[in-house]
Structure 1
Amino acid sequence: QTIFHSYGQVIECVKVRERYGFVRFANGEEAQRALAACNGVQLNGYPMIVEYAQNEILISPKSPRTNNTGSSAPFRPHPY
């Protein structure tokens, strides 16, 4: 979670399992900055593969929903 705070306001950070999780930013611009900066960066000896989530429901069933404007842009690291 700490690595992503430098790119914007983290609304939610969920660890699904070891080396796999989801991060939700306050807006799409922050998510884009984090995606561009973190993709491929080594974390605990593994390169992060960062991309936008395919399905928002995977983030958390209690997450606030977007208004379909794309203003809340979640993304996720891929499993290795």
Structure 2
Amino acid sequence: MYKLERFAVAGNEDGIVLVVTLGAMSRVGQHKHAVLARVAVALTPGAFDRSGDRVGAQDLSEKAGNGGSPWKD
């Protein structure tokens, strides 16, 4: 089972977007958990986040919503 925990988005005025998704994968009946990270880079003319606002290069830690660390709540 794969569950998406959170994601962060960053970009700049030239439309370079960095999307980071963090999730946790576990097997039923076992106590082992693995943390997965996926990074996708897209070159688009006009970068926008999921709320429709233009994304700035400094926004990665702000979009994570937890002080810049993707590992804490």
The question of a shared fold, defined as TM-score above 0.5 by the shorter chain, is answered with no
| Structure with greater helix percent | 1
| Structure with greater strand percent | 2
Alignment TM-score, normalising by the size of structure 2: 0.31
**Which protein shows a greater Rg?**
2
